[in-house]
């Protein structure tokens, strides 16, 4: 009945026939969850969702957030975001990581685990949830899509909107993924800074500096290191991408060339750098004295190669979580886009659109202009976008002008958080759970 | 003759007898060099030196900077800073690393290598240098002191002023060392950010995060990680300092306690963490498959210990040069102090003071107040200041309230560089050399 009323209200309102007063307008709740590895700006998307929902109180009820992502929905652990002050929600815009908790939990295929999909619908039904916003990468868009179709099958009307997020920048159909621009900015700035350090010391000390960055399958993040260059020949001198098979001899001779010419060599390497046979450079078969595989780090691995061959003094850094949590130097463009896709998700849902993901559409490189678009979830799910060949320089150690044109706007602008006592003020929410209504559910 | 005139001018001016007009005032040049590992703010000290010298054109000639530090003086490679625009010099204030090049080159004892000390005097004499400003750590202050005494012996009047610099914060007689505050801020912010990341993922993913920071001999930098805490019990949960012998079993059981209580554990470890016998934890005897010592990284080493004992999923980061080059998030207090010691060095020299180093004197913790003092070079040289016991918590895994009171003001304030195209604008100088006047000199 409520559904029919809502539909009626929408039709009549859209047609301009009559204004339904808020009291008669049925309001459904929304469920929002963060999924997978967090970013410096995923909370900005959450902020966009919640603030936009609050601005549309007439049409949408509460926003419940999954405690630790989709697991929160399965366990019926729903955070009532209406308990948070407007200031706390606004603070999400400048707080890194996932404020409600995230998880690496991929629902299996529908055939394998119908039970979990059904449980989601059951929980949504129990809490009057008719809007499902899932903030994550390719897997999450896939899940959202499946849940949506199950709703249809069961006759439970559920509006499912994916919200893009991933530092890996590997979602299709969107110009970029919120989260990536800020990592790119961090990597570009860190490379520029560390390169100045090495340059000033190379006469008597370190000759080679290696920065290891994320990107297990695609080299987007490592490629962003190239933005540190002000002129051709500037550091970083070598970028190692997963897309280009690692050729040890050629790499080592390039390092020597650079050191001879410049006095030092700065290298940015993707954690996913790999040999032609697909084995990771970081797993190059070396074991420690106890027979364990050498722990992590493609950076120390290639540092050793260089030391063995050329004897150069080296330093290396592994940025790891620092790069994706570095809200202190987030890209303003990225923050704005992260907020915008959160906002658009709610607006799309309220406009009756379903099974889509808001995307970033670039309308101009310079000056950079973008707008929000939409892509069907079915076409986003499980597609991985690698760096195009046209973005990789001929020698495989750098990027092209085209790649630079693409990347540069994504790191534009700063968006500093507020500081207190020399440290950024990041919000912590109360995260109060809604009372459970269902029996417990065991996650297998 | 010039010297006598200069002395006469100083005496009469100080006594207020007569004002010597600039044309008659003999002007000597200054030599400035950067020494040892660079920092985010050593160029701010250079800026203080050069701008203050320029503001005193009547009393001081050109400032020559050593190309690659003291090696530049030995090789007679003197950079003429007067060729740089006022804007470029002002830009040094917000540019990390050493703009003129630095070096790890310690002059041997005077007895062992009188030749080099004499060469310095010879170069200074050839270029009318009567002011020697040496910007570095303990070793550099020792060198400056020795050069000064040799000048006295040879009847060559040379004013020698040390300028403190070191991220290690281990110089005596000064409340802090320029360079440290900015690393401390970087480490505190990075720890807070990464901790939020781990906290949001720990339910299904990483349980332990380890950040390795600098500090081969003293734990000042690792201690600064504790500033990330907003309340007791916050991350970082464990800090491993070189001052506290590493006890593996006790450490591992603490990690388990923290993970059980909080769900995750954040650890900041000093690269200098060591066992009771003084051996570094990072060199824990492990070799790779080729029989080489495992490369670097106390972080991966303790990560493996934790994995073996508890099986927790972990991540680790090694900040390396990123931490000391991170001008993008420098402490404003640190930048101001770095500039102030450079400025004071010139002012001291012009006031006829010699063989001293400007120091930071703290006059109040809260509100934080400081002023410039002075310490004799002889008392600064080769003294290493470790963390006092009263700064280390009883369990050895953290810091005391007293340490926090000391550290907190040092990271206060932000001092953002200008940005263009999403990246900080760091200056690059022309670094034009003065024509040589002497025969070449071979550094042995």
pLDDT for B136-169, tens place per residue? 998 899 999 999 998 999 999 999 999 999 999 9
Strands A265-270 and A356-364: unpaired
Chain B partners within 8 Å of A190 (Cβ): 322, 325-326
Percent of chain B exceeding pLDDT 70 equals 91
Q: Which residues contact residue A306 at a Cβ distance below 8 angstroms, ignoring those fewer than 6 apart?
A: A208, A252, A255, A312, A314
CB pairs under 8 A between A and B: 235
Per-residue 3-state assignment (H helix, E strand, C coil) for chain A: CHHHHHHHHHHHHHHCCCCCCHHHCCCEEEEEEECCCCCCCHHHHHHHHHHHHHHCCCCEEEEEEECCCHHHHHCCCEEEHHHCCHHHHHHHHHCCCCCCCCCCCCCCCCCCCHHHHHHHHHHHHHCCEEEEEEEECHHHHHHHHHHHHHHHHHCCCCEEEEEECCCCCCCCCCCCCCCHHHHHHHHHHHHHHHHHHHHHHCCCCCCEEEEEECCCCCCHHHHHHHHHCCCCCCCCCEEECCCCCCCHHHHHHHHHHHHHHHCCEEEEEECCCECCCCCEHHHCCCECCCCCECCCCHHHHHHHHHHHHHCCCEEEEECCHHHHHCHHHCEHHHHHHHHHHHHHHHHHHHCCCCCEEEEEEEEECCCCEEEEEEEEHHHHCCCCCCCCHHHECCCCCCECHHHHHHHHHHHCCECCCCEECCEECCCCCCCCECCCCCCCCCCC
Residue from A250, A295, A258 nearest A275 by CA:
A250
Tell me: domain A180-326, CATH 3.90.580.10, correct? no
Q: What's the number of CA atoms in the CB half-sphere (13 Å) around residue B141?
A: 29
Could you give the CA distance from residue A97 to residue A61 in angstroms, rounded to a whole number? Answer: 26
Residues B136, B37 contacting (CB under 8 angstroms) = no
Give the chain B residue nearest A417 (alpha carbons). Answer: B414
- More confident site: A215 or B21: A215
Chain A partners within 8 Å of B190 (Cβ): 322, 325-326
Tell me the pLDDT tens digit for each residue of B193-218.
999 999 999 998 999 999 999 998 89
- 8 Å CB contact of A192 and B423: yes
Q: How far is B98 from chain A, CA to nearest CA, in Å? A: 5
Element (H, E) at B373: strand B369-376
Stretch(es) of chain B classified as CATH 3.40.50.450: 2-166+329-382+415-424
- 8 Å CB contact of A201 and B416: no
* Cβ-based burial of A89 (10 A; exposed 0-12, middle 13-18, buried ≥19): buried
Residues B190, B297 contacting (CB under 8 angstroms) = no
Could you give the CA distance from residue B288 to residue B148 in angstroms, rounded to a whole number? Answer: 49
Residues A225, A239 contacting (CB under 8 angstroms) = yes
- 8 Å CB contact of A321 and B185: no
B288 catalytic per annotation: no
- Which CATH architecture does the domain made up of A2-166+328-384+415-424 adopt? 3-Layer(aba) Sandwich (3.40)
Least confident range of A23-27, B128-132, B400-404: A23-27
- 8 Å CB contact of B328 and A412: no
Q: How far is B344 from chain A, CA to nearest CA, in Å? A: 25
- 8 Å CB contact of A424 and B101: no
What value does the mean pLDDT take over residues B435-439?
A: 97
Residue B1 pLDDT > 70: no
Q: Which of A204, A295, A411 sits opposite B104 (nearest CB)?
A: A204
Scanning B228-279, the segments in alpha helix (DSSP H) are 248-262
Task: Quote the tokens at residue B78.
Answer: 């003197």
Tell me the pLDDT tens digit for each residue of B55-68.
999 999 999 999 99
Per-residue pLDDT, A112: 86
- Residue of B80, B139, B168, B170 marked active site: B168
Q: What are phi and psi of A123, to 5 degrees?
A: -65, -40
Per-residue pLDDT, B7: 53
- 8 Å CB contact of A320 and B322: no
Q: What angle do CA A78, A83, A85 make, to 5 degrees?
A: 135
Tell me the pLDDT tens digit for each residue of B304-356.
999 999 999 999 999 999 999 999 999 999 999 999 999 999 999 999 999 99
Per-residue pLDDT, A21: 44
CATH no. for B180-327 = 3.40.50.460
- Residue of A80, A139, A168, A170 marked active site: A168
Q: How far is B112 from chain A, CA to nearest CA, in Å? A: 21
Exposure string over A216-243, b if 16+ CB within 10 A, otherwise e: eebbbbbbbbbbbbeeeebbbbbbbbbb
Per-residue pLDDT, B268: 98
- 8 Å CB contact of A201 and B102: yes
Residue B12 pLDDT > 50: no
Residues B131, B28 contacting (CB under 8 angstroms) = yes
Stretch(es) of chain A classified as CATH 3.40.50.450: 2-166+328-384+415-424
Q: How far is A189 from chain B, CA to nearest CA, in Å? A: 6
Fold of B2-166+329-382+415-424: Rossmann fold (3.40.50)
Taken as a whole, chain B contains a residue count of 444
Crossing angle of the two packed helices A298-310 and A248-262, in degrees rounded to 10 = 70
Could you give the CA distance from residue A274 to residue A386 in angstroms, rounded to a whole number? Answer: 15
- 8 Å CB contact of A289 and B290: no
Q: Which residues contact residue B73 at a Cβ distance below 8 angstroms, ignoring those fewer than 6 apart?
A: B31, B33, B66, B119, B120, B123, B124
Q: How far is B323 from chain A, CA to nearest CA, in Å? A: 9
Per-residue pLDDT, A296: 60
Stretch(es) of chain B classified as CATH 3.40.50.460: 180-327
Chain A partners within 8 Å of B297 (Cβ): 297, 300
pLDDT along chain A (444 residues), means of 10: 49 46 71 96 98 97 97 97 98 98 87 90 97 94 90 93 96 97 98 98 94 94 98 97 97 98 98 93 59 66 94 96 98 98 98 97 96 96 89 98 98 98 97 98 87
Strands B265-270 and A265-270: unpaired
Residue B21 pLDDT > 50: no
């Amino acid at each position: 009945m409520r559904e029919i009323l809502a539909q009626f209200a929408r039709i009549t309102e859209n047609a301009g026939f009559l204004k339904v007063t808020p009291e008669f307008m049925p309001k459904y709740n929304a469920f929002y969850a963060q999924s997978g590895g967090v970013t410096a700006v995923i909370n900005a998307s959450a902020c966009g969702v919640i603030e936009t929902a609050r601005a549309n109180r007439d049409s949408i009820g509460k926003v419940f957030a999954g405690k630790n992502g989709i697991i929160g929905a399965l366990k019926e652990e729903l955070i009532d975001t209406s308990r948070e002050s407007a200031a706390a929600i606004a603070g999400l815009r400048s707080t890194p990581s996932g404020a409600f908790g995230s998880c690496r939990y991929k629902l299996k295929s529908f055939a394998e685990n119908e039970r979990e999909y059904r449980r989601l619908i059951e929980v949504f039904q129990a809490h009057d949830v008719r809007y499902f916003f899932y903030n994550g990468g390719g897997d999450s868009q896939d899940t959202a899509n499946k849940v949506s179709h199950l709703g249809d099958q069961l006759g439970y009307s559920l509006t499912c909107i994916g919200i893009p997020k991933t530092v890996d920048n590997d979602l299709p159909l969107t110009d970029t993924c919120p989260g990536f621009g800020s990592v790119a900015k961090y990597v570009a700035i860190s490379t520029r800074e560390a390169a100045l350090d090495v340059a000033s010391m190379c006469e008597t000390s370190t000759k080679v500096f290696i920065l290891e960055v994320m990107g297990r399958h695609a080299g987007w993040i490592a490629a962003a290191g190239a933005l540190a260059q002000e002129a051709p020949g500037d550091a970083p001198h070598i970028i190692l991408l997963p897309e280009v098979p690692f050729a040890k001899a050629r790499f080592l001779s390039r390092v020597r060339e650079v050191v001879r010419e410049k006095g030092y060599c700065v290298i940015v390497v993707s954690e996913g750098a790999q040999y032609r046979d697909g084995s990771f450079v970081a797993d190059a078969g070396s074991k420690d004295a106890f027979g364990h595989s050498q722990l992590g780090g493609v950076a120390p691995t290639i540092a050793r190669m260089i030391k063995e061959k050329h004897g150069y003094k080296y330093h290396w850094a592994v940025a790891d979580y620092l790069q994706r949590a570095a809200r202190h130097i987030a890209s303003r463009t990225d923050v704005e886009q992260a907020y915008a896709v959160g906002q658009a998700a709610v607006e799309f849902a309220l406009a009756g659109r379903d099974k889509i993901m808001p995307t970033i559409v670039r309308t101009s490189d310079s000056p950079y202009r973008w707008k929000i678009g939409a892509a069907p979830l079915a076409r986003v799910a499980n597609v991985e976008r690698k760096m195009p060949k046209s973005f990789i320089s001929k020698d495989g150690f750098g990027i092209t002008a085209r790649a630079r044109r693409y990347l540069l706007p994504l790191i534009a602008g700063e968006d500093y958080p507020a500081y207190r006592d020399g440290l950024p003020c990041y919000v912590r929410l109360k995260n109060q759970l809604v009372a459970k209504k269902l029996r417990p559910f065991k996650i297998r």
